[in-house]
């Protein structure tokens, strides 16, 4: 190894990033997004609907309550659809406007922002924080650090508690926590999510984006030359350098960049956007706000760092409507409409037919053949309904069961059904039988299910 | 697990964990050639690469996984044949879960036990539990709808072989039943069997030959009546079937009855006392009772 090259290890201590707050258009948008998203997150579990929690993912009960809708495990396809929709939406918005999600809406970004605000009000601004970290241990340092971590811990605990409150009725959860009757697992999950919040938003921050986040890894696949990116206009900015205020613009051979480092200081991932587009950029536009502020002070035009596209940067035209966008958009819209349609026509009744496990068939003393089934009738509605059962096959069927029954709302009732058929009327050893279950008090609620009817092989068809 | 296999596994485990440790220790101080601009000294198609070392906590994560593995192997079985200091095992965990489940349902069954079977047969909560017990333990033979099948009695009618009161039902479930009809193929000749068959058919008013039935009456009253009674009304003490009610356990066709007389029948209801326990049988009996009460 040449001697003039410094020794570099594969692992280094991650540098701590001191972020400077910034004002401006995009900063206001980000704060608004934070209030909206965090507000929704902390409020949502407290909403009620029909005397129950409006949003509750009841895992032990295996039911997802979303306002007026209750989803059962059998509705899993909707979750799949929802995930596909979310993925498509991500592709679509990324292709159009880059990493909108990362900069404005990602929980990692949003909670980090909240944590940074707490850091600021307890430890002071950027320079004060850097100084504080460098100075030896003192009473003041302990006081400030304690204040910060206390705020963080309280906020993280509340976050963890809220998260668990989406899965356990939050009013019961809060009562249990207050009177000490919450079980070990309850505490474990509350503390687990609290710790995860504290660790991610307090300690790891930008490292989650840089080293862990999978979405950041496949960004590049969704970008093209028309995608909105944040870029530094190097043609205008270079050569960069500090200057005297009294020299008119452009007369000292310098570009517009005054190398004040504001764009680096405000960057939550600690990168220098002037090096060009890079994987660690989460497109939060803090550097745009910071640079514009400086440009205004310098009396230069804004937009040295701006939202742009690669095409626009190279003097070509930007095409918003391009095949990729049209395809993503059409798919997204189509799937969304289908999803809403499927939800709206969802039959609030499901029936599973299980053949008896004991035997294939039994012969009566009259020589007819009986098969026994258990119908699991699931009333997916919130109210009780009365249903009627009918059965048919290629031959006349006698149904030996109670053909009318009531199923309470959100319950499953087992209805044992015995079907009797003359085996000589059936052409095959195994034939199909059709069950039809219809609601007697609600229009258009009908479910058709099929099962098989088995007869002995020595009873040939006539 | 033989000692050889155990030692082999131990050696593998030690080698692998040690190997991970060695790999980390060897690579953590590796040097990357980078120039003053922080770039690694190779380019391809004009594309150059920065040297981007991972943060140090990443390395600690690797070490933590090693400590976790060692801790796991100390606490739990996994290191060869050693059981681990916690003494955990699947079987023990299963027993623990069963015990916990029993404790959980104990108050429920205690509430049921306080009531009589007849009371419970009107109680929807008990019937819901009973129907599940029935589905798991009885439906295999008696059918999900409890209407039985050839050889397995229908539990929804009023026709009871051993008696349909609560105590008898409990006794049947707890101790099981052996329904035995001896074979007469060797002791009665063919014509006599035929005559008896027609007499049996006549008892429940099925199609029969009057003359043959008349011949069979005497044989029936000397041999069959010992269990089935003079009138053929059966005997719950013995589990002898009532032959006059046109309910047929093994089939009421000519062939089926001939077969029964010639070869006899062996009906077995297994004993469930050990399997289910008194408290569950109490609830189950109530459910069975409720089935025929509906008729």
Distance CA B169, CA A231 (A): 84
Contact at 8 Å (CB) between A349 and A380?
yes
Cis ω for the linkage preceding A233 (within 30 of 0):
no
List Cα–Cα distances, B267 to A109, A156, A241, B152, B215, in angstroms: 73, 67, 102, 8, 29
- Chain B residues lying within 8 Å of A418, measured CB to CB: 143, 145, 147
Would the CB atoms of A211 and B143 count as touching at under 8 Å? no
Residues in chain B with pLDDT < 50? Answer: none
- In this prediction, residue A461 carries a pLDDT of 60
- Chain B: closest CA distance from residue A26 (Å): 30
Contact at 8 Å (CB) between B227 and B238?
yes
Instruction: Report the residue from B29, B144, B150 with minimal CB separation from A374.
Output: B144
Mean pLDDT for chain A overall = 90
- In this prediction, residue A306 carries a pLDDT of 93
Q: What is the CA radius of gyration of chain A?
A: 33
Q: What angle do CA A134, A139, A142 make, to 5 degrees?
A: 65
| Nearest-10 crossing angle of helices A107-123, A126-134 | 70
B-chain residue closest to A376, CA distance: B144
End-to-end CA distance of chain B: 59
Q: How many residues would you count in chain A?
A: 462
- In this prediction, residue A155 carries a pLDDT of 97
A-chain residue closest to B156, CA distance: A401
Contact at 8 Å (CB) between A34 and A110?
yes
- Chain B residues lying within 8 Å of A5, measured CB to CB: 33-35
Contact at 8 Å (CB) between A343 and A78?
yes
- Chain B residues lying within 8 Å of A363, measured CB to CB: 150, 251
Which residues 6+ apart lie within 8 Å of B259 measured at CB? B250
Residue A365 CA neighbour count, 13 Å, CB half: 20
Identify the burial level of A370 via C-beta atoms within 10 angstroms of its C-beta, where 0-12 means exposed, 13-18 middle and 19 or more buried. Answer: buried
- In this prediction, residue A51 carries a pLDDT of 85
- Beta-bridge partner residues of A70: A65
- Average pLDDT on A238-251 reads 84
Contact at 8 Å (CB) between A99 and A222?
no
Instruction: Report the residue from A6, A211, A362 with minimal CB separation from B58.
Output: A211
Q: Is B136 on the interface with A (CB under 8 A)?
A: no
**B53: alpha, beta or left? (left if phi > 0; alpha if psi -120 to 50):** beta
B-chain residue closest to A402, CA distance: B145
Contact at 8 Å (CB) between A109 and A205?
no
Output the six-digit token pair for B90.
């699947």
A-chain residue closest to B26, CA distance: A10
- In this prediction, residue B50 carries a pLDDT of 72
- In this prediction, residue A198 carries a pLDDT of 96
End-to-end CA distance of chain A: 94
Which of the four pLDDT bands, split at 50, 70 and 90, describes residue A5?
A: very low
Distance CA B32, CA A409 (A): 67
Strands B54-55 and B177-181: what pairing?
unpaired
Strands A229-232 and A69-71: what pairing?
unpaired
- Chain A: closest CA distance from residue B175 (Å): 22
- In this prediction, residue A296 carries a pLDDT of 93
Would the CB atoms of B149 and A414 count as touching at under 8 Å? no
- Average pLDDT on A75-93 reads 91
Contact at 8 Å (CB) between B234 and B240?
yes
Beta strands in B119-166 (DSSP E): none
Residue A346 CA neighbour count, 13 Å, CB half: 19
- Average pLDDT on A128-137 reads 92
**B9: three-class secondary structure by DSSP:** helix
- Average pLDDT on A269-280 reads 89
Contact at 8 Å (CB) between B123 and B114?
no
Distance CA B126, CA B284 (A): 9
Would the CB atoms of B144 and A373 count as touching at under 8 Å? yes
Question: How confident is the model over A182-202, as pLDDT tens digits?
Answer: 888 999 999 999 999 999 999
Instruction: Report the residue from B33, B34, B144 with minimal CB separation from A372.
Output: B144
Which of the four pLDDT bands, split at 50, 70 and 90, describes residue A3?
A: very low
Count chain A–chain B contacts defined by CB atoms under 8 A. Answer: 91
- Chain A residues lying within 8 Å of B32, measured CB to CB: 8, 10
- In this prediction, residue B36 carries a pLDDT of 63
Q: Which residues of A137-147 are buried (b: 16+ CB within 10 A; e: fewer)?
A: eeeeeeebeee
- Chain A residues lying within 8 Å of B30, measured CB to CB: 9-10
Residue by residue, what is the 3-state secondary structure of A393-423?
CCCCCEEECCCEEEECCCCEEEEEEEEEECH
- In this prediction, residue A462 carries a pLDDT of 53
């Amino acid at each position: 190894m040449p001697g003039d090259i410094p020794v570099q290890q594969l692992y280094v201590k991650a540098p701590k990033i001191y972020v400077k707050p910034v004002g401006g258009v995009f900063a206001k948008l980000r704060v608004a997004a934070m209030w909206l998203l965090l507000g929704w997150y902390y409020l949502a579990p407290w909403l009620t609907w029909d005397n129950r929690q409006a949003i509750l993912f009841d895992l032990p009960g295996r039911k997802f309550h979303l306002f007026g809708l209750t989803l059962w495990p059998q509705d899993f396809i909707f979750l799949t659809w929802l995930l596909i929709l979310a993925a498509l939406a991500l592709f679509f918005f990324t292709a159009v406007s880059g990493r909108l999600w990362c900069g404005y809406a990602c929980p990692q970004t949003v909670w980090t922002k909240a944590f940074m605000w707490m850091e600021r009000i307890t430890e002071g601004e950027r320079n004060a924080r850097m100084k504080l970290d460098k100075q030896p241990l003192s009473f003041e340092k302990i006081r400030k650090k304690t204040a910060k971590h206390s705020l963080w811990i309280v906020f993280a605990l509340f976050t963890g508690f809220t998260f668990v409150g989406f899965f356990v009725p939050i009013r019961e959860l809060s009562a249990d926590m207050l009177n000490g009757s919450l079980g070990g697992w309850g505490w474990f999950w509350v503390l687990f999510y609290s710790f995860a919040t504290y660790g991610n938003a307090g300690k790891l921050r930008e490292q989650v984006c840089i080293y862990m986040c999978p979405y950041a890894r496949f960004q590049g696949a969704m970008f093209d030359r028309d995608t909105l990116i944040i870029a530094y206009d190097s043609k205008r900015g270079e050569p960069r350098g500090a200057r005297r205020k009294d020299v008119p613009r452009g007369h000292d051979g310098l570009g517009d960049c005054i190398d004040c480092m504001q764009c680096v200081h405000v960057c939550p991932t600690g990168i220098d956007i002037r090096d060009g587009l890079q994987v660690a950029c989460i497109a939060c536009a803090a550097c745009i706000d910071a640079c514009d502020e400086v440009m205004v002070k310098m009396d230069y035009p804004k937009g040295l760092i701006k939202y742009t596209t690669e095409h626009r940067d190279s003097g070509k035209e930007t095409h918003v409507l391009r095949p990729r966008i049209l395809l993503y958009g059409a798919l997204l819209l189509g799937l969304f409409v289908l999803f809403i349609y499927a939800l709206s026509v969802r039959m609030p009744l499901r029936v599973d037919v299980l053949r008896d496990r004991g035997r294939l068939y039994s012969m009566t003393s009259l020589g007819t053949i009986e098969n026994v089934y258990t119908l699991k009738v699931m009333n997916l509605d919130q109210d009780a309904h009365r249903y009627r059962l009918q059965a048919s096959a290629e031959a006349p069927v006698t149904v030996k069961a109670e053909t009318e029954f009531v199923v309470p709302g959100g319950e499953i009732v087992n209805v044992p059904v015995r079907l009797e058929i003359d085996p000589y009327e059936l052409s095959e050893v195994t034939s199909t039988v059709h069950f039809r279950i219809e609601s007697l008090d609600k229009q258009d609620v009908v479910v058709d299910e099929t099962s098989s009817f088995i007869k002995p092989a020595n009873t040939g068809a006539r | 697990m033989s000692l050889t296999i155990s030692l082999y596994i131990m050696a593998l485990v030690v080698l692998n964990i040690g190997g991970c440790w060695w790999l980390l220790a060897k690579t953590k101080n590796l040097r990357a050639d980078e120039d003053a601009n922080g770039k690694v000294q190779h380019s391809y198609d004009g594309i150059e690469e920065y040297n981007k070392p991972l943060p140090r906590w990443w390395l600690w994560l690797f070490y933590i996984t090693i400590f976790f593995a060692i801790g796991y192997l100390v606490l739990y079985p996994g290191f060869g044949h050693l059981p681990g200091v916690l003494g955990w095992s699947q079987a023990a965990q299963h027993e623990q879960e069963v015990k916990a489940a029993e404790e959980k349902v104990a108050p429920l069954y205690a509430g049921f036990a306080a009531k009589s079977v007849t009371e419970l047969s009107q109680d929807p909560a008990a019937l819901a539990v009973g129907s599940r017990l029935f589905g798991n333990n009885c439906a295999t033979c008696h059918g999900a709808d409890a209407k039985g099948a050839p050889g397995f009695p229908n539990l929804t009618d009023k026709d009871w072989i051993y008696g349909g009161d609560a105590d008898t039902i409990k006794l049947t479930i707890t101790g099981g039943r052996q329904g035995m009809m001896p074979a007469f193929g060797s002791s009665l000749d063919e014509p006599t069997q035929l005559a008896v068959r027609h007499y049996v058919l006549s008892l429940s008013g099925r199609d029969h030959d009057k003359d043959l039935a008349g011949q069979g009456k005497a044989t029936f009253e000397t041999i069959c009546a010992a269990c089935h009674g003079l009138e053929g009304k059966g005997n719950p003490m013995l589990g002898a079937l009532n032959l006059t009610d046109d309910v047929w356990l093994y089939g009421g066709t000519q062939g089926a009855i001939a077969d029964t007389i010639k070869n006899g029948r062996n009906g077995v209801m297994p004993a469930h006392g050990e399997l289910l326990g008194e408290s569950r049988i109490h609830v189950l009996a109530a459910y069975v009772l409720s089935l025929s009460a509906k008729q």
